[in-house]
Amino acid sequence: DGILKIWDLNNDGQCRQVCRVPSVQEEEQEGQDTTASSSSSSVGGITRLQWHPTLPLVLTSMSDGTVRLWDARNGALVQTVTGHEDMINDLAVEFVTPEQQGGGTAVIVTGSDDKTVRLFEIDIATALEGGTTSSS
């Protein structure tokens, strides 16, 4: 269903946060541009995930061929990275610059059913401000 739930196992197993792609209607209510959005009904399942080592950020690869960056504090979708035409089967992430520089850079390698391997870079600080992602 594409929903990421974050549980607190030290506090009676409570669900601390639910991360989901906002529907087009929710984005329109918030005044966001919906031209490049997908509704939550078309979101595939999560195939892999990786936490940032020190920040409350989670990266997920999806069966719809996207990689998503989530803010674990509030459940917000920070960024969606596209490039695959089919399900992503594997995700590897290396965080490569000092934490003092706003979170560093995430170098992401994905493998997909579309028979491609893709490399993405996300500048964490720029992503948190709503910036862009480069891919190859």
pLDDT in tens, 42-53: 567 999 999 998
Which pLDDT value is given to residue 34? 41
Please compute the mean of the pLDDT values over residues 7-36 and round it to a whole number.
68
pTM: 0.76
Q: What confidence tier does 23 reach under pLDDT thresholds 50, 70, 90?
A: low
Percent of the chain with pLDDT over 90: 44
Which pLDDT value is given to residue 99? 56
Q: Which of 121, 96, 115, 95 is nearest to 131 (CA)?
A: 121
Taking CB atoms within 8 Å and a gap of at least 24, the contacts of 121-129 are 122/69, 122/79, 122/81, 124/52, 124/55, 124/57, 124/95, 125/101, 127/69, 127/78, 127/79, 128/71, 128/78, 128/102, 128/103
Which pLDDT value is given to residue 83? 95
Q: Which of residues 27 and 42 earns the better pLDDT score?
A: 42
Beta bridge partners of 134: 121
Q: What confidence tier does 13 reach under pLDDT thresholds 50, 70, 90?
A: confident
Structure tokens of 34? Answer: 């919906």
Predicted confidence (pLDDT) at residue 61 exceeds the cutoff of 70: yes
Q: What confidence tier does 102 reach under pLDDT thresholds 50, 70, 90?
A: low
Structure tokens of 24? Answer: 């087009």
